[in-house]
Amino acid sequence: MKAKARIRFRLALRNLRRQRRRSILSGSAMVLAMALLIFSRTLAEGGHEDWIEAGVRLGSGHVALQHPEYQARRTLEFRLTSEKREAAEAALASSSVAGRVVATAPRLAVQGLASSPSAALPVAIVAMDPASETRFSALQEDLSEGRYLEPDDRLRALVGTGLAERLKLKLDSRFVLTAQDADGQIVGQMVRVAGVFRTGIPEVDEGFVQIPLATAQEWLAAPGAVTGIAVLLRSSHDVGSAARALRAALADESSLDVVDWRRTMPELDAAVRMDDWADYIFHIVLFVIAATAIINTVLMSVMQRTREFGVLRALGLERGQVGRLVFTEGLFLTLVSGTAGVALGAAVVWIFFRHGLDFSAFWDTEMSAAGVVIDPVIVPRFHWSQLLWSMVVMLGIGCLASVYPAWRATRVDVAEAMKFDE
């Protein structure tokens, strides 16, 4: 480091120490702001990741491979034939993708009608491979009666408690599913209730039926076909890179589309974004508090040191050098207090809330939104991008808050500054 830069840092550091009480007070505001920022970001990250994971496990995964028209039309006309399905599975097994994938679940989904002697209700019929699904879906954990589907099951179905109640179904009760098959014919299939689940999401519990994939393929005249392959990744942060890798692996397949959860579950996406925005508003308030504290300290220091800046100028410092000196003070204050804030926030989260923050005292009934059950216990999560983002924001605040005091210092009139009495 050059001697000039060294003396600038030394002057900045010692000037902050010179006004110790003020520096500590302002630094504390920054520490608190950054600690709260880390706390709220990790909490939001944990909450959102939980929502997304619950949503994608029950829905079509972090990313789904499907026919380009399927997302809009949702009919068997736009299914993946066994040939396309093989191409999709080959892409998923490719070296650039396989490492990112936790589980996959081929599914055949149609809209249909569930009828019992008591009633008939519209339902979403999702046919799945029980072996793949147990690694993917968390539905087996929500069973309130009976058992989950097994690989050998043929005419068995899982229904939600709401549907079972309205159709008056019990374990082993028979009911009929009706849907349009691949040839456009309306066809029916009788199945028996193997298990009843309760997710807490009314739309799922009242309008969702799971049956074995092989049964549906035969019933709907779509041998070997699926409407999509749901892909579960390690975290939602991997979606972008995994989708890019999949698209690259499927570059030659124009009839295979890679869609992420934001497109397949727009309500969940909206809920996450809305919650993020609420967070951002809170962060802006924090930033304003931190920036005000920094500006206050550095500006007060500049006002009190008019004579000193005059002396520096008289000794031969250029305006810009004086400005840089003040800027460095602001930046130092930001860096030291901001880093302490990030460390404090991370330590508090790690020490006290590593196993989750229980919000169940604030709501006594199950809460669901955008098709997912919101777990009252939120486990904060760190992500390197958060830390980086917090650091960048912190530096940004420090720079912005130091610009004005630095500019004020460059405007000092040397001769006027010398007139001041000590």
List CB contacts of 94: < 8 A, sequence separation 6 or more.
245, 249
Closest Cα partner for 227 from 414, 92, 73? Answer: 73
Structure tokens at 311: 């002396």
User: Is residue 186 a contact partner of residue 179, using CB atoms and an 8 Å limit?
Assistant: yes
Q: Nearest distance from residue 339's CB to another protein, in Å?
A: 23
- The verdict on 422 binding another protein (CB under 8 A) reads yes
Closest Cα partner for 387 from 20, 19, 38? Answer: 38
When the beta carbons of 239 and 312 are compared against another protein, the nearer one is: 312
- The verdict on 308 binding another protein (CB under 8 A) reads yes
- The verdict on 284 binding another protein (CB under 8 A) reads no
What part of residues 319-358 is at the interface with another protein (CB under 8 A)?
319
When the beta carbons of 15 and 334 are compared against another protein, the nearer one is: 15
Candidate residues 119, 274, 278, 418; the one interacting with another protein per rule CB under 8 A:
418
d(CA 201, CA 371): 6
- The verdict on 303 binding another protein (CB under 8 A) reads no
User: Is residue 217 a contact partner of residue 207, using CB atoms and an 8 Å limit?
Assistant: no
When the beta carbons of 7 and 274 are compared against another protein, the nearer one is: 7
Q: Nearest distance from residue 10's CB to another protein, in Å?
A: 8
CA dist list (Å): 406 to 242, 298, 398: 46, 8, 12
The pair phi, psi for residue 322, each rounded to 5°, is -65, -45
Helix (H, G, I), strand (E, B) or coil at 324: helix
Please identify, among the stretches 102-110, 168-176, 197-205, 313-321, the one whose residues bind another protein according to the rule CB under 8 A: 313-321
- The verdict on 318 binding another protein (CB under 8 A) reads yes
When the beta carbons of 86 and 413 are compared against another protein, the nearer one is: 413
- The verdict on 369 binding another protein (CB under 8 A) reads no
- Count of residues that interact with another protein, criterion CB under 8 A: 26
- The verdict on 18 binding another protein (CB under 8 A) reads yes
When the beta carbons of 248 and 418 are compared against another protein, the nearer one is: 418
Candidate residues 317, 340, 369, 400; the one interacting with another protein per rule CB under 8 A:
317
Candidate residues 62, 85, 100, 313; the one interacting with another protein per rule CB under 8 A:
313
Closest Cα partner for 306 from 201, 421, 226, 212? Answer: 421
Q: Which helix (H) or strand (E) holds 178?
A: strand 174-180
- The verdict on 14 binding another protein (CB under 8 A) reads yes
CA dist list (Å): 132 to 46, 67, 105, 422: 26, 21, 5, 80
Write out the residues near another protein by the rule CB under 8 A.
3-4, 7, 10-11, 14-15, 17-18, 307-308, 311-319, 413-415, 418, 421-422
